[in-house]
Amino acid sequence: ISRIRNFSALVQSKALVNGNWIDSSNNDTFDVTNPVNGKKIGSVPNMTVQDAQNAINAAKQAYESKEWRSLTAKDRSNLLKKWHKLIEQHSQQIAEIMTAESGKPINESKGEVLYGNSFVEWFAEEARRIYGEIVPSPVANREIIVMKQPIGVAALITPWNFPLAMITRKAGAALAAGCTVVIKPAEDTPLTALAVAKLAEDAGIPKGVINVVTTNKAAPIGDLFCKSPDVRGISFTGSTQVGKLLFRNAADGIKRVCLELGGNAPFIVFDSANVEKAVDGAMSSKFRNCGQTCVSANRFFVQAGIYDKFVALLKQRVEALKIGDGQSSDIQIGPLINKMQYDKVSGFVEDARSKKAQIVVGGTGLPELGALFYAPTVVTDVPPTAQLYTEEVFGPVVSIIKFKDEAEALQKANDTNRGLAGYFFSENLQQVFRVAKRLEVGMVGVNEGLISAAEAPFGGVKESGVGREGSHHGIDDYVDIKYICMGNL
């Protein structure tokens, strides 16, 4: 409790609809717990479908209101800049909330506040650069004018692994474009979402422009977002399974859909690689947020000539990781987010073990630390039939497969229906270009394990999603292109 007092000023226990901090209409709530020890750290309204409908109505009303419509791009930019400033000023408190509800080590939470806030800054800048076109007409006395207009109300559904950044990456772009939003944050991490919404309110963003609907019954509210004619776009980050469902359901209303779904990132280490750099890259790509990121390396392909050295060095580094309650600044690995994820990670390792993979280090839970802690693990000789190979583990497990040549590495790396991020380490220039072009992914890290930036387009190919977030492309999902033909001039 004393810990909670430290950040209590920003912790909300109500949801935000139309500028009002409210309970759910049936007064139901659900608890938010700390995954380190299962202790309750807060509770939030368990909103109903009717509450979500009210939030959509509020967003629509705000979209059409003078307070929002009459703003210039520069006005919206200024509001986003104020929001950015307030998030910056409260970064310590937000990071503490994030660590408490997600288990993310505090240094990483601080990093996420910086990263998440960089989208608010970026889109504050981009707001002023949503340009149209004047195109030479083929007909005399005519002018072809192309302009970009906001789509209207956007529904944003976000996951727990980046409780702040997944909201700002969507809401920043939406507000810059002139949309209004209804945010449905993940049930595990609603407190970070409400805290940044509070700061948006303090920044002077008009009522109804940002609404936050907390619930632990996402499906019917997701359905409502898909069905409501007043929601013009849905942006979702989360599992491929739920993404497919939303994509299907959004088809009826032909909605704009942006999906950032699961990956199955290959991480290839070629013989020519600098092995120390490759191990550094592997550690940061794999163990950030305890392996719970959709761009985490999922399958490590290591060439025969460098294999033993890579595995030995990686083992040393993994054994040295500090595991525990992320509130201490020396901790590098926290717990998994919930029991479902814990069961999945340990189940995948047991499945690989039963299929003759070798556990080099780890491979067990750490009940002495808490029920959701899993030891950082390295598994070699992972067969293609293992779940560790075919699916995204979303946990602190490195799965290593040996390969002989570049063609084999590429074939195996691309042998998946996912295509979010891919990484490889090579000091051979020709190989760098060949492999970067051939990897079937939306983002490639060459000699680099951490690649996300507000300036760069984030997104996947194949079943990893549609659309791009961040960069100037991130605006596209929130604007319609309108062609105006000026005739008889």
Does 319 qualify as catalytic in the annotation?
A: no
Q: Measure the CA–CA gap between 174 and 425, rounded to whole angstroms.
A: 36
Q: How far is the CB of 32 from ligand ADP (least distance, A)?
A: 13
Indicate the residue among 188 and 476 with the shorter CB distance to ligand ADP.
Answer: 188
Find the binder of ligand ADP among 245, 321, 366, 436 (CB under 6 A): 245
Q: Tell how strand 465-466 and strand 256-260 pair up.
A: antiparallel
What is the SS3 string spanning 240-267?
HHHHHHHHHHHHCCCCEEEEECCCCEEE
Q: How far is the CB of 307 from ligand ADP (least distance, A)?
A: 32
DSSP label at residue 205: P
- Cβ atoms 290, 396 nearer than 8 A: yes
Q: Which structure tokens are listed for 79?
A: 């509001």
Q: How far is the CB of 208 from ligand ADP (least distance, A)?
A: 21
Indicate the residue among 113 and 157 with the shorter CB distance to ligand ADP.
Answer: 157
Q: Which of 121, 260, 440, 463 is catalytic?
A: 260
Residues present in the chain in total: 489
Indicate the residue among 213 and 378 with the shorter CB distance to ligand ADP.
Answer: 213
Q: How far is the CB of 342 from ligand ADP (least distance, A)?
A: 13
> Per CB under 6 A, does 157 bind ligand ADP?
yes
* Residue 186 CB-half CA count within 13 A: 24
Q: Which structure tokens are listed for 142?
A: 């005519």
Q: Measure the CA–CA gap between 355 and 350, rounded to whole angstroms.
A: 9
Q: Stretches 217-225, 327-335, 362-370, 410-418: which one binds ligand ADP (CB under 6 A)? A: 217-225
Find the binder of ligand ADP among 56, 166, 183, 186 (CB under 6 A): 186
Q: Stretches 34-42, 184-192, 325-333, 448-456: which one binds ligand ADP (CB under 6 A)? A: 184-192
Sites for ligand ADP among residues 249-308 (CB under 6 A): none
Sites for ligand ADP among residues 95-134 (CB under 6 A): none
Find the binder of ligand ADP among 134, 146, 219, 481 (CB under 6 A): 219
Q: How far is the CB of 474 from ligand ADP (least distance, A)?
A: 19
Find the binder of ligand ADP among 42, 222, 335, 422 (CB under 6 A): 222
DSSP label at residue 124: H
Q: Stretches 122-130, 156-164, 347-355, 363-371: which one binds ligand ADP (CB under 6 A)? A: 156-164
> Per CB under 6 A, does 159 bind ligand ADP?
yes
The three-point CA angle 377-115-263 to 5° equals: 45
- Cβ atoms 179, 63 nearer than 8 A: yes
Q: Measure the CA–CA gap between 141 and 282, rounded to whole angstroms.
A: 61
> Per CB under 6 A, does 49 bind ligand ADP?
no
Residue nearest to ligand ADP (CB): 222
Indicate the residue among 219 and 251 with the shorter CB distance to ligand ADP.
Answer: 219
Indicate the residue among 159 and 396 with the shorter CB distance to ligand ADP.
Answer: 159
H or E element in which residue 489 lies? none
Phi, then psi, of 179 in degrees rounded to 5: -80, 170
What does each C-alpha distance from 18 to 181, 196, 223 come to in angstroms? 11, 16, 21
> Per CB under 6 A, does 158 bind ligand ADP?
yes
> Per CB under 6 A, does 242 bind ligand ADP?
yes
Q: How far is the CB of 58 from ligand ADP (least distance, A)?
A: 20
Find the binder of ligand ADP among 103, 238, 266, 326 (CB under 6 A): 238
DSSP label at residue 472: G
Nearest to 232 by CA among 477, 472, 481: 477
Indicate the residue among 93 and 189 with the shorter CB distance to ligand ADP.
Answer: 189
Q: How far is the CB of 44 from ligand ADP (least distance, A)?
A: 13
> Per CB under 6 A, does 460 bind ligand ADP?
no
Which amino acid type is present at position 319?
Answer: E
Q: Measure the CA–CA gap between 197 and 41, rounded to whole angstroms.
A: 19
Q: Measure the CA–CA gap between 290 and 333, rounded to whole angstroms.
A: 6
Indicate the residue among 215 and 285 with the shorter CB distance to ligand ADP.
Answer: 215
Indicate the residue among 336 and 382 with the shorter CB distance to ligand ADP.
Answer: 336
Q: How far is the CB of 220 from ligand ADP (least distance, A)?
A: 8
Phi, then psi, of 465 in degrees rounded to 5: 140, 180
Find the binder of ligand ADP among 145, 218, 313, 359 (CB under 6 A): 218
- Cβ atoms 413, 439 nearer than 8 A: yes
User: What is the dihedral sign for C-alpha 436, 284, 370, 29?
Assistant: negative
Q: Measure the CA–CA gap between 226 and 218, rounded to whole angstroms.
A: 12
Find the binder of ligand ADP among 61, 149, 239, 284 (CB under 6 A): 239
162 Rama class: left (phi>0) / alpha (psi -120 to 50) / beta: beta
> Per CB under 6 A, does 189 bind ligand ADP?
no
Indicate the residue among 259 and 454 with the shorter CB distance to ligand ADP.
Answer: 259
H or E element in which residue 143 lies? strand 143-150
CA dihedral 390, 467, 184, 11 (to 10 degrees): 90
Q: How far is the CB of 301 from ligand ADP (least distance, A)?
A: 25
Binding site for ligand ADP (CB under 6 A): 157-159, 184, 186-187, 218-219, 222, 238-239, 242, 245-246
**Known catalytic residues?**
260
